Amino acid sequence: MKYITKYKSPNYNSRNNSKIQLIIIHYTALKNTLDAVSYLCKRQKKVSSHYLISQNGSVYNLVDDKFRAWHAGKAFWQEITDINSISIGIELDYSPSGNNNKFSSKMINSLKKLILKLQRNYKINKNGILAHSDIAPFRKKDPGKHFPWQSLSSSNLVMSLKNLKKNEIKIMEKWFKNNNLKLKKQKTILALSLIGYDTRQVYKNDKLYNKLVRAYRARYLNSEDTVKNNSIYDALIKHLFNFLLTKN
């Protein structure tokens, strides 16, 4: 896979021997690729990513994988708060309010090839391909509800959530019962926590809880599913069961 390497960001530091475990997908929210390159390579901005993918599928390598790029910000996943040290950041030339408000087929094809290469190079689990909104659900929305996660799933790059059999659902419900969890909200928060989300402050804060649920919904549920009262809970039970089976 060929990269454009003539632009390099000065915004990086050492990983301190941390193992790369995650790939984080972002969107730039800028007008075009050149604006994004300028922004990500400007020292004063103190932000960067390892890769940037343009609308025409060109892949810019702005920070070498061995370095810690500054793309995640304040974030959390599976009890880890220094996400930059364990991740590769990929920015997409996309803005919800700009002319570049489509995830082009060329962009997504390049993204798939890049993810596959990174997964092979660093043995990254399918559960480790995340949205920026997964690791920072209270302040970030990217890559947004229109990002084609299903396309990545169809290419076997991220975990596919298989439907549960009746006995598997009973196993999950029995597990919840044994842990004295009766309310759906309690079960939802525990499932999100076990998967990796930051649930530290959502128990007593309904605003943060709703933000977290919206982030999960944007990632894993189709828009037509959002009108169903039980859709998020049902998806989470399915997700948790699949996650526990594919954790390693």
User: What SS3 state is found at 204?
Assistant: coil
d(CA 164, CA 197): 22
For strands 51-53 and 59-61, give the pairing: antiparallel
Of the residues 79, 91, 168, 224, which is catalytic?
91
Greatest extent of the chain over all pairs of C-alpha atoms, in Å: 58
Contact 69, 89 (CB under 8 A): yes
d(CA 230, CA 242): 18
Which of 197, 66, 160 has its CA nearest to residue 188?
197
Contact 93, 51 (CB under 8 A): no
173 catalytically annotated: no
Would you call the peptide bond into 10 cis, given omega within 30 degrees of 0 as the criterion? no
Q: Please give the single-letter amino acid code of residue 69.
A: A
The 8-class DSSP code of residue 171 comes to H
d(CA 133, CA 185): 20
Contact 7, 37 (CB under 8 A): yes
Beta-bridge partners for 4:
60
Contact 136, 73 (CB under 8 A): yes
Catalytic residues: 91
